[in-house]
Structure 1
């Protein structure tokens, strides 16, 4: 075909048919331009399809990862609520100075002391920032992803440092006044009467209750809610793409 057009162009030039040659040349240029535009259009379509498939893959992986983290937080939240109830029970009992010791109290002393941490998967988000979060085309979803990981996850992961501070406060007291310590489970008082009437210990118990309420439980509840909203948005967006 190319040889045919070359032969036709050379024939027009040799026979002196200038006007026909110009028309032919313009037509050939138009055909070349159309061919280029078609090729670009196909390339853009292929690129769009690739980005679309990559976006779907990212959102599905994100949804799966968020569901795993949500289940972790729900399990930890249930555990923290039980711990908090034990601490509240102990706090109420401490209001009665003459309350007699019984072995069941060990399971109330224990929850006051111990690190409360949780490991969430932020690695996927860090990889996403590197590979290009702009692949998520929906602005609402993209903004919620950023807020969730930069704010919610950062707060929860920051609890580890806060727990170290709490541990530094409570640990010396427990090591001095308790034995047979099992973190967050039980602790046996060395001198029951002494700690039971100790106002400083009452402050420790109250402080631990408040920190769990204001930090861990509040952060987990808010993050679980935000994850549910984000997963719902992702599901609706993916359904609309089908």
Structure 2
């Protein structure tokens, strides 16, 4: 192609047709510019296609994170806290109106389970979103509303996790101080600890700790339920965007 244009150029120059040569040269420049513009447009299309695929990959990963967050929060902080609160209410019922204990070991173990999960809410599945932010690729999420909602959701999760670290109760430590807990034999309580445990149930301090732990349990379960609900709602929005 270049050889063809070169021959035309040489022919026009040899024939002394300068005006036609200028017109030809101008036409050649236009063709070059058009070629460059076409190349740039193709490059832009390719870049846009890559960004679209990258955005889709990120959204798929975020959807997976939200699914895991929802399932894990339900399992660890809703279901387990349902049981935790039930056991604490059992202890509170006995403290307020003592009843005959049929199985002392089972009774103590039930109350002891109220001490489970007393170190705060800290569960966050946000690897995909954090990668988006750290790499500067958050701009790839073209839906402004979705990008804003993702930012608000994960910021709120971080705030809640930080706040929960400050909210710790003494109930778990208190229970462990009355009776040692052995993972290999969680149901075992020796006779001395049984007697001490039953005596502690009558104290004002134990009653206050149960109420404090219940407050923490209700608060954490409510927060966990909101996380599950909001994660599921956001996951639906992300999946709509993927489609």
Q: Give yes or no for TM over 0.5.
A: yes
* Structure 1 runs (4+) greater than 6 angstroms displaced: none
Q: How far apart in 2 are the matches of 1:82 and 1:172?
A: 19
Gaps of 5+ in 2: none
Residue equivalent to 1:204: 209
The alpha carbon displacement at 1:67 in A equals 0.9
Gaps of 5+ in 1: none
Residues 179 and 190 in structure 1, CA contact (< 8 A), matched pair in contact too: no
TM-score by length of 1: 0.84
Residue equivalent to 1:82: 83
SS of match in other structure, 2:124: coil
SS of match in other structure, 1:121: coil
- 2:152 pairs with one of 119, 122, 147: 147
- 2:140 pairs with one of 122, 135, 153: 135
Pick 1 or 2: higher relative contact order, CA cutoff 8 A, min separation 6.
2
Would you say 1:221 and 2:222 are equivalent positions?
Answer: no
Q: How far apart in 2 are the matches of 1:158 and 1:72?
A: 20
How large is the Cα RMSD of the aligned pairs? 2.4
Distance 1:142 1:203, change over 3 A: same
Q: How far apart in 1 are the matches of 2:13 and 2:94?
A: 109
The alpha carbon displacement at 1:118 in A equals 5.7
Would you say 1:93 and 2:97 are equivalent positions?
Answer: no
The 5-angstrom pairing of residues 1-242 of structure 1 reads: 1-76=1-76, 77-96=78-97, 98-102=98-102, 103=104, 104-116=106-118, 119-131=123-135, 132-156=137-161, 159=164, 161-162=165-166, 165-166=168-169, 169-171=170-172, 173-176=174-177, 178-181=178-181, 189-192=194-197, 194-214=199-219, 216-239=220-243
The alpha carbon displacement at 1:25 in A equals 1.3
Q: How far apart in 2 are the matches of 1:220 and 1:182?
A: 29
Q: How far apart in 1 are the matches of 2:55 and 2:86?
A: 44
TM-score by length of 2: 0.84
Residues 122 and 153 in structure 1, CA contact (< 8 A), matched pair in contact too: no
What do the CA deviations read for 1:84-133 (whole angstroms, capped 9, x no partner)?
Answer: 1111222122112x544442321332123243466433333222212211
The alpha carbon displacement at 1:60 in A equals 0.9
The alpha carbon displacement at 1:153 in A equals 4.4
Moved more, 75-84 or 102-111: 102-111
Give the number of aligned pairs. Answer: 231
